Chains A and B, each alone.
Chain A
Amino acid sequence: SQTIHQWPATLVQPVGSPLSLECTVEGTSNPNLYWYRQAAGRGLQLLFYSVGIGQISSEVPQNLSASRPQDRQFILSSKKLLLSDSGFYLCAWSVQGGGTGNTIYFGEGSWLTVV
């Protein structure tokens, strides 16, 4: 069966520090991969998605970046964090080219607090 893991689960970072969140998917090949952010009490905001190695699409301009160095690995980074980057970050995957039954599955999430 397919599984998705992301880490770290929780982190507290000072303003201006770098960020690296990692996500891996097991049990599937060539998945679509996504990074979402959810601010406190808010809905899900799509940050990045990827349909293949090295292929990244950004939905929202910001000081974050994403990379997909391997088929089932997705990384979210920042060189300098802002207070507004605080939130709940979720990695997700879906089957590429799936039909109407295609669903999206989330990792456990990473809580980021920028202080």
Chain B
Amino acid sequence: RKEVEQDPGPFNVPEGATVAFNCTYSNSASQSFFWYRQDCRKEPKLLMSVYSSGNEDGRFTAQLNRASQYISLLIRDSKLSDSATYLCVVKVYGQNFVFGPGTRLSVLP
């Protein structure tokens, strides 16, 4: 089993749609969780950290379920500019960051 798994994608959605990405991790000792965004042929950039109580940043909402070892990212009112690959990232203290394979999102006009 891979350490971090994500929806295989791609997701093709119309502008204004709500889209949810799922991520599962295998190491129960994981302590830090993040969503990164990677545009085509660019470096990954931090979108948001994921906190135990869940957190929201504008149209983006992240949730963490430690019992199920599951992380989610919800994007509301999708924009064309949201088109990118979304990477789930997990870290155990003292170990390296583990990246999921990513889920590609295309928001269509």
The reply to whether B43 and A106 contact each other, CB–CB distance below 8 Å, is yes
Enumerate A36-56 residues with CB–CB distance to B below 8 Å.
42-44, 46, 49
Enumerate B54-97 residues with CB–CB distance to A below 8 Å.
87, 89, 91, 93, 96-97
- Inside 8 A of B91's CB, which chain A residues have their CB? 102
The reply to whether A43 and B100 contact each other, CB–CB distance below 8 Å, is yes
Interface size on A, residues (CB 8 A): 22
Shortest distance between the CB of A35 and any CB in chain B (Å): 12
With contacts A88-B41, A103-B34, A106-B44 taken as known, whether A43 is within 8 angstroms of B101 at the C-beta atoms is: yes
The reply to whether B43 and A103 contact each other, CB–CB distance below 8 Å, is no
Out of B41, B89, B101, name the residue touching A104 (CB < 8 Å): B89
- Inside 8 A of A109's CB, which chain B residues have their CB? 41-43
A100 within 8 A of B: yes
Cα-based distance from A109 to B39 in the complex (angstroms): 12
The reply to whether B96 and A102 contact each other, CB–CB distance below 8 Å, is no
B32 within 8 A of A: yes
The reply to whether B99 and A44 contact each other, CB–CB distance below 8 Å, is yes
Shortest distance between the CB of A90 and any CB in chain B (Å): 6
The reply to whether B41 and A111 contact each other, CB–CB distance below 8 Å, is yes
Shortest distance between the CB of B38 and any CB in chain A (Å): 9
The reply to whether B93 and A100 contact each other, CB–CB distance below 8 Å, is yes
Residues of A within 8 A of B (CB): 34, 42-44, 46, 49, 59, 88, 90, 94, 99-109, 111
Residues of B within 8 A of A (CB): 31-32, 34, 41-46, 49, 87, 89, 91, 93, 96-97, 99-102
What are the 4 closest A-B residue pairs judged by CB atoms, nearest first? A106-B43, A43-B101, A44-B99, A100-B32
